[in-house]
Structure 1
Amino acid sequence: MSVTLQQIAQTAGVSAMTVSRVMHQSPRVSVETRERVQAAIQQLGYQPDPHLARMMTMVRGRKKARVRAVIAVIRETAPKDALHQTAYQYVPIEAIRQRAEQHGYLVEEFWLGQDGLDSEKLVRILQARGIEGIIVSPQSSQMLCAQLDYRAFAAATFGFGLTQPSLHRAAGNMNLGIQMAVKQLSARGYERIGLAVTQWIDHRAEGAYSGAMLHAQQSLPVGQRVPVLLFPHNDFSRCRKEFMDWMDAHHPDALITFDQHVPEWLNKMGLRVPEDIGLVVHDWTPTMKGYAGIYQRRDHVAAAGVDLVATQLLQNETGVPEVPRQILIPPQWIEGESIRAKLV
């Protein structure tokens, strides 16, 4: 049975705080009291717990140095990459920092491809800094983050852009988002609902956009099914002709697509939103006032990604997992003036 500080204090006729001070060689204890406490320690056969002592040493050291651990957020920068357009939304650093703070971590961004920073150099920097947790946020079609050596890190990624290596990931559930949008549009009397996004967006979501749309169309008469338009270029501003040809061929009465370029193209075709055609933004953000849309709630995606890394750090797990965990955040439907009201 282990001996407690309270038992030593009772035997020596002092307080537990005084016993603690003697053990830590505090000069605030008189010689007579120190000898009395040491005699009680010897009489009771007290042995310190090495695990507890180590833990308390680490805690005191951190308080003294005020050192805080860091989670690295790894972005990508590639010159002239179309995925850096403002039309493509990414998980904001502010949302990542907010969740990391709740776990006690700081957050720093590192940009692969910027100022000669390649994957090998970045790994050396992270290890030299003692950074063990990383969140990968793919932001280029070149997937520079796929070249990193993940063996020494607790890692997670956002979305499905990074397919190999397959890390733990947090993403929006866009299968659910598309089905939600189709249901909302159908409730307003739209019958020919079209989806127009880039191939990269659909690929990044593992076919969730096109798959959900094809699933929704199975319950429609064949004449109401509008083929999915996957813009052939990541820079979809170059896809005006493909869009107009698709519109002329299939005549959708509602679109799930981008808030950029498409409204201008519709205007040039003499179509008014929402009088002639409904428009739903596939990736709505609070800056898109007036548009109905699918809000992917990236603040919750950010929180889930941080949680995945923090859990691995707590469990001392590093490297590419054998079975990657996936957290899907359900999106939120946003009402807007770009579609007509529900039918009564």
Structure 2
Amino acid sequence: MPKPSVPDADAKPPLPQRVTLSDIAEVAGTSHVTVSLALRNHPKISATTRKKVCAIAKKMGYRPDPMLKALSEYRKQTKAARYQAALVWINLFDTAVYPPRYHTFGDCQEGARERAAELGFSLLPVCPKAEGMTPASLRRMLQARGIMGVIVGPHPKPRTRWRWDISEFSAVRVGYSLSAPLLHVVANDQAASSALAIRKLRELGHRRIGMVLSREHNERTDDHFLGGFLGKCMPGLSSGDNPFLVFDEPFNREQWQAWYERFRPDAVIVGGEETGKAIRSFGVRVPEDLSVVIFGDIKSGSFWAYVDQNDHAIGRMSVDVVVGMLNRHETGLPERPCCTLVESRWCAGTSVQKQPASARR
């Protein structure tokens, strides 16, 4: 008589059968295409059907297969990009070309155009003020052209509320100049940029490091540069020391002299090349008397040491965020706005010199 079989102790239990789109479609009484669109929150499917399908999928324990998703994305990337649609870059300045002082915003726009092309989109630059467009006419124009993805560039006036109905668009803003609408943000990691500049200056022996920003620059960055700077510098300072100067434009010698004589820095981080040039015009020898680091991409040669905020990469990242929203059919104001930060890089220049050991305080 044969012996009864003994279960293998090492045998693994059978895997539960994976729930498919067809399984959900059968229960929901619809097609698997409708299920696929509903689970991706596609606007072509009614809200009632989307809610019904999502509830059934949750009850059945449906989970997307990440490997199939990765394979699909790989196949897309290996194909030559073809233009799928257009995205729009909204320039909130008065002119279609950004002023020289704000050339970095143009770098952001160019990065966005480049990345959009790689993903099969064209990028349409629109300057509503220069073109005489109201928020309503801008909205109608985008609707007529079928443009759903929107990148809102920086506003010329910081902490501005821009009133525009974005309920049917996938939108992201670049930088912190807009206080509303509360969209997802792509920006430079400005607190980390301050920390990077401080670290490089300390490596060169500087100990009394100051920061000089215009009020407009400080507000445009929503205090992120200054906050990052104070977080790194204040713990090592004496009581009563004021390591920063936030000035009202135009920057003048009296503002500078009063702060400089009181704090006596051996290095300063400033919010733009114009401020660095102004300090030199006040009779300060750079770098003999004072090392100077600039925030922002410098186009006029290698004299200035600067922290490059990677504006081109910020523009590219803004496209990635918007395209991701389009793929997920996310429109309108996000429930929880997120901020995507891009790191800076240090660019050495002769405006910074190493402090001799005898000068270190």
Could you say whether these structures have the same fold, taking a TM-score greater than 0.5 normalized by the shorter chain as the test?
yes
Out of 309, 317, 340, the residue aligned to residue 330 of structure 2 is: 317
| Change beyond 3 A, Cα 1:229–1:87 | farther
| Change beyond 3 A, Cα 1:232–1:99 | same
1:202 Cα deviation (Å)? 2.2
Contact 1:150 1:320 in 2 (8 A): yes
**Corresponding letter in the other structure for 1:217:** C
- Higher CA-based Rg: 1
Residue aligning to 1:154: 170
Q: Deviations over 1:145-199 (max 9, x none)?
A: 7122111100001111122111111110010010111111122122221111122
| Change beyond 3 A, Cα 1:140–1:261 | closer
Contact 1:70 1:108 in 2 (8 A): yes
> Following the alignment from structure 1 to structure 2, what is the Cα–Cα distance between the partners of residues 67 and 180?
39
Residue aligning to 2:146: 130
1:315 Cα deviation (Å)? 1.2
For the residue of structure 2 that corresponds to 1:112, the secondary structure is: coil
Out of 145, 151, 155, the residue aligned to residue 139 of structure 1 is: 155
Contact 2:217 2:271 in 1 (8 A): no
TM-score, scaled to structure 2? 0.69
Counting only pairs closer than 5 Å after superposition, residues 95-110 of structure 1 correspond to structure 2 as 95-110=111-126
**Corresponding letter in the other structure for 1:215:** G
Residue aligning to 1:90: 105
Contact 1:136 1:156 in 2 (8 A): yes
**Corresponding letter in the other structure for 1:266:** I
Aligned length: 278
> Following the alignment from structure 1 to structure 2, what is the Cα–Cα distance between the partners of residues 72 and 284?
25
For the residue of structure 1 that corresponds to 2:325, the secondary structure is: helix
Q: Deviations over 1:216-269 (max 9, x none)?
A: 123313179443211223xxx454432233223322221111453434433343
**Corresponding letter in the other structure for 1:246:** W
**Corresponding letter in the other structure for 2:213:** V
Residue aligning to 1:255: 268
Residue aligning to 1:285: 298
| Change beyond 3 A, Cα 1:88–1:211 | farther
> Following the alignment from structure 1 to structure 2, what is the Cα–Cα distance between the partners of residues 298 and 182?
21
> Following the alignment from structure 1 to structure 2, what is the Cα–Cα distance between the partners of residues 144 and 119?
15
Contact 2:163 2:180 in 1 (8 A): no
Counting only pairs closer than 5 Å after superposition, residues 50-69 of structure 1 correspond to structure 2 as 51=33, 68-69=84-85
Contact 1:256 1:279 in 2 (8 A): yes
Percent identity between the aligned chains?
Answer: 26
For the residue of structure 2 that corresponds to 1:76, the secondary structure is: coil
> Following the alignment from structure 2 to structure 1, what is the Cα–Cα distance between the partners of residues 157 and 306?
25
> Following the alignment from structure 1 to structure 2, what is the Cα–Cα distance between the partners of residues 283 and 150?
31
For the residue of structure 2 that corresponds to 1:196, the secondary structure is: strand
Residue 265 in structure 1 maps to residue 281 in structure 2: no
> Following the alignment from structure 1 to structure 2, what is the Cα–Cα distance between the partners of residues 122 and 250?
50
Q: Deviations over 1:106-137 (max 9, x none)?
A: 00111121132221111111111111110000
TM-score, scaled to structure 1? 0.73
Residue aligning to 1:37: none
**Corresponding letter in the other structure for 1:86:** R
Residue aligning to 2:257: 244
> Following the alignment from structure 2 to structure 1, what is the Cα–Cα distance between the partners of residues 284 and 227?
28
For the residue of structure 1 that corresponds to 2:296, the secondary structure is: strand
| Change beyond 3 A, Cα 1:124–1:142 | farther
For the residue of structure 2 that corresponds to 1:194, the secondary structure is: strand
Residue aligning to 1:185: 201
> Following the alignment from structure 2 to structure 1, what is the Cα–Cα distance between the partners of residues 173 and 180?
11
1:314 Cα deviation (Å)? 0.8
Structure 1 gaps, min length 5: 1-48, 56-65
